[in-house]
Structure formats: C-alpha cells, structure tokens
Amino acid sequence: MENSSRVYLYDTTLRDGAQTQGVDFSAADKARIARALDALGLDYIEGGWPGANPTDDSFFSNPPDLGQARLAAFGMTRRAGRSANNDPGLNALFAHDAVSVVTMVGKSWDFQVTVALGIELDENLRMIGDSVAHARTRVSEVMLDAEHFFDGYKANPQYALAALRAALDNGARWAVLCDTNGGSLPHEVERIVSEVVAAGISGDRLGVHCHNDTDSAVANSLAAVKAGVRQVQGTINGLGERCGNANLVSIIPNLMLKMGFETGISEEGLKHLVAVSRTLDEVLDRKPNRSQPYVGASAFAHKGGLHVSAVAKDPACYEHVDPARVGNARQIVVSDQAGRSNIVARMADLGIEIESVKRDALVRVVEAMQVDFDPHEVADLVDLIKRLEHEGYAYDTAAASFELLVRRALGQVPDYFTLERYRVIDERRRNAKGDWVTLSEATVKVEVDGREFMQVGEGNGPVHAFDVALRAVLMGAYPELAGLELADYRVRIVESTAGTGAKTRVTIESTDGQGHRWTTVGVHTNVLEASLEALQDSIAYMLFRFREIR
Ligand SMILES: CC(=O)SCCNC(=O)CCNC(=O)[C@H](O)C(C)(C)COP(=O)(O)OP(=O)(O)OC[C@H]1O[C@@H](n2cnc3c(N)ncnc32)[C@H](O)[C@@H]1OP(=O)(O)O
Ligand SMILES: CC(=O)C(=O)O
C-alpha cells in the first residue's frame, strides 16, 4: 500500500519533557503550553500521566480548551498478574472526559521483560494486548509506545514485532517505535523501520519516538519517516529524559519545508514556531538558545563580512530557508569580523546612510569614551568598530550600544544627563544576630538641563547600589525609566596586559516591561566603570527610543 504524505505530530513536552532534570511544570504551565501547541496545529498533545502525581491529575481535571489537537493521557500497560479491568493504574487513564487518546508504554525488548519486569515473555504480550483491548472500550483512540523497540529489534526481531502486533491486532491505532535509550543511529533506524514495513506492518500505523543520547534524535526521526512511519513524537526545544527527546521545533520545518510532507500545521501556523519555542523558555525561565536551528536569534544572523556582502545581493547565498517562514528574522551583526557591508546593512536597518557619518563627528564621539587609541587615527566607522572590538567591546550582541554610537556620531542623541561624580562604599560587618552581612552604598550626582541632583542608593553589591542610585536620581526628570529593568548582567575578562591589568567587558540586557529588550556594553579595567558605561547606554537607549523615535 502506498503511504500517505500526511505526517501526524505528537507532542510529549508535558510528559517526557516533564522528565527533564530541573523541569517542574505546574498545572497552569501545562495548560499554557498546551494552548500554544494547539494553536500551532499539532495533532496530539500528551498532557501527562493521570494518577501518577497531583499536578497531572489537576491538569486533566481542568484541561485547557483545545481546537484541533487531541488530548492524550499517558500510562503503562496493566501490571503483571492483574486483569486490565482490575488495574487501578490503568483505569486512572480513563477517568477524565477530555481525554480521547490513551498512549500506553509497553515493553518490546525481551531483555527488559525478563530483567526489568521479571516476567515471562508471553505474559508481557498478553499485558499489551489486554490493556489495548480494554482501553479501546473506554476511549476512541489507543496507541502503544513500544519501549526500547530498536534495541529490542536488534536483540530479538521476532519478539519486538510480536509486541507491535499484540497492540495493533487488539485495536491500537498506532504502534510507536521508541528509541528509549537514544543509542541508535539514523542508518540503523532507517533499516529497521524498512524491515518492519516489509514484515507487513503499514507505515500509516507506525510512529517513532527518539531520545537524543547520541545527538541523533532529529535525524533518527526523519530517517524513520523516510522509511515509512507517519507519526512523529517529540518535544518543544528537545526537552526530555536525560539528553532529551527529538526536537519538534527542528523536525516540523524539516518535514514541511525540506521533505515536502503535510502536517496539521499550515504555512501560516508555521510562522508561530519561534513564538512557541520562546513560550516554553519563558515558562521555564530559561534563556533562549541563540544557536537553535530555525528559531534561535542567531539562526539567521550574518556576521562574516563575506556573508553579509553576498546576503545583500541574495539572502539565499547564506540562508537555507527564508527565516520568515518559521517566524524568525534576518539579523546583520556588527563585530570585528565585519566588512563595510555589515555596517552599511545595519545602518540601513536603522534608516541611516553610512556617508552621513563625518570623520570629525566620529572623533568627538571617541573622545568622550575612555579608549586606548588616538581618535584622530580613526579612518571611518568600520575602522572605529574594529578598533573598539579590539579594545574589548562586542557589538555583535550589544546592538543598542552600536545604534547609540552611530546616532551619536550623527548628533541625534541628546545628552540626557551628565554624571558629575559618584562614590561607592562597600561594607562587611556583623548584624545584631552576629551574622556577617555585606552592604553597598552609592552616592551619585548628575546634571540634567543645567540642574544638579544627588541620590544615595543601597544594594547587595557595588554595581547594584550604583544602579539603584542612578535610576533614583534620574527618575524625577525621566519618569518613563520606572519601567526599566535589568534582565541580565554579564562580566567577562577580555584582556590581560602587563601594567594595565585585566580589562572587563560588562554586557547588560534591559527590558522596559513592555516586551522590548536591548543590550548594551561597557569596557574598562575597573568593573564598576565598565558597568557604568553599559548602564548609561541602557538608560540613554531607552530614553532615545521613548522620546525621539516614538
Ligand atoms: C520510557 C519512559 O519514559 S516511560 C515513562 C516513565 N515516566 C515515569 O515513570 C514518570 C511517572 N511515574 C510514576 O509516577 C511512578 O513510576 C508510577 C506512579 C507510574 C508507578 O509508581 P510505583 O507503583 O511506585 O512503581 P515504580 O515506579 O517504583 O516501578 C515501576 C513498576 O511498574 C512496572 N512496569 C514498568 N513498566 C511497565 C509496563 N510497561 N507495564 C506494566 N508494568 C510496568 C515495573 O515492573 C515496576 O513494578 P514493581 O513495582 O512491581 O517492580
Ligand atoms: C515511551 C518513552 O518515553 C520512551 O520509550 O522513551
């Protein structure tokens, strides 16, 4: 029989993803993720294991409204020596009305049956068959996750196939071939799936569930589809037990854009891929992986001068797909790897022509910075960027500082404030209970529009105290700074030279509480000065965006 070109997508972020070390979803988190997955267009969302823990029970008792996706409950086949009817664990899977699909894990590796379960091989096959037949009387769709299928097939192919047949012959819609230990490689998966299909089991009834222990889970899933399976299980951002599961965020566009398969996701829906990946990061309070294929911030970022020059002529020169198709965007990065093309392209993004930056204006900007080179030696903007990068600035991540640098050279950025002086005191002492405490206090004096203001701030470290004082002193003149928050603060040693000591680079990521984020950079031998530079740029950037661009 000819296989269909429709591949069904099954998400197990809320079940296998919950088995990731360090991940602890609440029922509300699960509902939020389920809604995002449903909106994307997935066919199945595995919500968890009813009866296994209170969170999963609470999620299934109060499930989110889903449109296209079917809500699946996960569990295991009946226990040995019990009837399916009398197994409370199994019957807990049918306790919730919103569940229309039950997925049961069952053993398909003879070694696991004798060692992990400690039972006869035939009893395991009866456990699978009985459980599926019983479940079919309770829900409309049942599937078997054939645990350790690939290892089992390598050890005893007849027994592994018998486990699949025990499920399919008793009414399972799908038998899902699991690479539970994640040790298989793509050529093995493709061969084994082909042999399963040749043994008479249609690919339209086969799924695949791969773990990533050899970093091959996505490739293994695609190899399985190539060989015939028509359901793919995985998780968003590759969450999952040990090294994770197959990453659906990569599998989905690979299937749709590279292999020409239909899924339940439309072309429009695919544009939500970045948003779904970010939603999970946000729920988990994780920093998005910049290098994540398709959806990472760097997935379509061009840094090398040669790349940018060619991308300006045709993006296909260095892009495997149009980033817009998955909801991502092209980014031109400015750094010491840049040629003229990078700078021209970045400035064009800002609506600025490079010819408008005059050399004497550049000199004035550089004079206001604390740098180790003569501003009069600077040939042009490209030269300045390369010199500053050599000093330790990193503009590929600090796009806001880059924009300020260029706009200052064009005289577009007002002097919102001038730092007149500051003093920071660090103190370590015992409190009334006799415990050690450290306290930092900063006094900051600024001038705004010819008027001087002074404030004191306290913090848990000198940079924190300085930040508190600076923002407090500016708030009167610029109330919009109330929304400013520091999202990330990183310090790195960038150079160590005899005489001057180590230089530090401080990178600050800020938000305005309205979803906008920007990154600024400061470099100095003194970490406080470097922080101060990055912090001042952050404030100036917010004010500039708020006052000049709006
Ligand atoms: C490959 C996978 O990722 S499968 C999913 C794994 N996920 C989880 O385990 C998370 C949720 N699990 C749990 O909360 C618990 O393990 C429960 C509630 C399901 C079971 O808890 P317990 O009853 O305390 O059993 P425990 O976890 O210690 O051991 C598993 C038992 O199930 C049996 N078992 C394992 N697989 C199967 C199976 N496919 N069918 C029937 N029984 C099985 C084991 O033999 C063992 O039985 P034993 O206690 O008689 O030795
Ligand atoms: C079912 C499952 O999670 C596995 O076999 O890996």
pTM (two decimals): 0.84
Q: Binning pLDDT at 50, 70 and 90, where does residue 335 land?
A: confident
What's the confidence (pLDDT) of residue 325? Answer: 98
Residue with tokens 């330790």: 392
pLDDT for res 2: 57
- Assess whether pLDDT exceeds 90 at residue 352: no
What is the domain partition of the chain in residue ranges? 8-265, 418-549
Q: What percent of the chain has pLDDT over 70?
A: 98
Give pLDDT, residue 65.
96
List the structure tokens of 206.
Answer: 């086969």
Instruction: Give every strand in the sheet of 418-430, ordered side by side.
Output: 418-430, 436-448, 451-459
Mutual angle of helices 186-198 and 157-168, in 10-degree steps: 60
Question: What pLDDT shows up at residue 495?
Answer: 63
- Report helix, strand or coil for 510: strand
* Pocket residue to mutate for ligand 2, from 77, 211, 243, most atoms within 8 A of Cβ: 211
Number of the ligand closest to the Cα of 212: 2
Q: What confidence tens digit (pLDDT) does each residue in 122-140 have? A: 999 999 999 999 999 999 9
Looking from the CA of residue 149, the nearest atom of ligand 2 is 5
Q: So what's the pLDDT on residue 498?
A: 43
pLDDT 10s digits, 198-217: 999 999 999 999 999 999 99
Q: What is the pLDDT of residue 493?
A: 86
Check for a shared fold between 8-265 and 418-549. no
What pLDDT does residue 344 have? 87
CA 149 – ligand 1 centroid, Å: 18
Model confidence pLDDT, tens digit, residues 94-104 = 999 999 999 99
**pLDDT tens digit sequence for 241-264:** 999 999 999 999 999 999 999 999
514 class by beta-carbon count within 10 Å (0-12 exposed, 13-18 middle, 19+ buried)? exposed
For ligand 1, atom 41: residue with the closest CA: 79
Q: Which of 15, 241, 242 for mutating ligand 2's site (highest number of atoms within 8 Å of CB)?
A: 241
pLDDT score of 11 more than 80: yes
C-alpha of residue 148 to centroid of ligand 1, in Å = 15
What is the rounded distance in angstroms from the CA atom of residue 405 to the CA atom of residue 398? 11
More confident residue, 232 or 390: 232
Residue entry with tokens 């920071």: 424
CATH class for domain 418-549? Answer: alpha beta
Name the residue with the closest Cα to ligand 1, atom 22: 52
Q: Is the pLDDT of residue 309 over 50?
A: yes
Q: Could you report how far apart the first and last alpha carbons of the chain are, in Å?
A: 61
Distance CA 210, CA 232 (A): 9
Mean pLDDT over all residues of the chain? 93
The residue with greater pLDDT, 297 or 287, is 297
Complex ipTM = 0.96
| Mean pLDDT across 459-485 | 92
Nearest CA to 189 out of 246, 236, 235 is that of 246
Q: Cβ distance 74 to 103 under 8 Å?
A: yes
Q: Mutate which of 13, 15, 16 to test ligand 2's pocket (most atoms within 8 Å of Cβ)?
A: 16
Which residues lie below 8 Å from residue 55, measured CB to CB, with a gap of 6+? 25, 26, 27, 30, 48
Q: What is the mean pLDDT of residues 444-455?
A: 94
Cα 153 from chain centroid?
34
How far are the Cα atoms of 264, 376, 495 from residue 325, in angstroms, in the given order? 16, 46, 41
Alpha helices in 17-103 (DSSP H): 27-40, 54-61, 88-91
**Which of 549 and 379 is assigned the larger pLDDT?**
379
The DSSP line for 132-168 is HHHHHTTSSEEEEEEETHHHHHHH-HHHHHHHHHHHH
Q: What integer pLDDT is reported at residue 550 of this predicted model?
A: 58
Q: For ligand 2, what atom is nearest to the CA of residue 148?
A: 5
List, chain by chain if needed, residues with CB within 6 Å of any ligand 1 atom: 16, 19, 49, 52-53, 76-77, 79, 105-107, 116-117, 127, 147, 180, 241
Closest C-alpha among 203, 258, 209, 268 to residue 44: 209
What ligand 1 atom has the least distance to the C-alpha of 16?
A: 3
Q: Which of 59, 90, 105, 113 to mutate to test the pocket of ligand 1 (most atoms within 8 A of CB)?
A: 105
Q: Note the pLDDT of residue 487.
A: 86
pLDDT 10s digits, 28-55 = 999 999 999 999 999 999 999 999 999 9
Nearest CA to ligand 2 atom 6: 180
Residue 370 confidence (pLDDT) above 90? no
Q: Which ligand is nearest to the CA of 217?
A: 2
Taking the CB of residue 363, how many other CB atoms lie within 10 A of it? 16
Q: What is the pLDDT of residue 380?
A: 87
Angle among Cα 314, 319, 322 to the nearest 5 degrees reads: 85
Q: Which residue has the tokens 């015992």?
A: 430
For residue 94, which of 43, 136, 146 has the smallest C-alpha distance? Answer: 136
pLDDT above 90 covers a percentage of the chain that reads: 78
In terms of C-beta density within 10 A (0-12 exposed, 13-18 middle, 19 or more buried), how is residue 489 classed?
middle
The helix or strand, by DSSP H or E, that contains position 328, with its residue range, turns out to be none
Which atom belonging to ligand 2 lies closest to the Cα atom of 15? 3
Residue 147's φ and ψ, nearest 5 degrees, are -65, 140
Architecture of domain 8-265: Alpha-Beta Barrel (3.20)
Q: What is the residue type of 384?
A: L
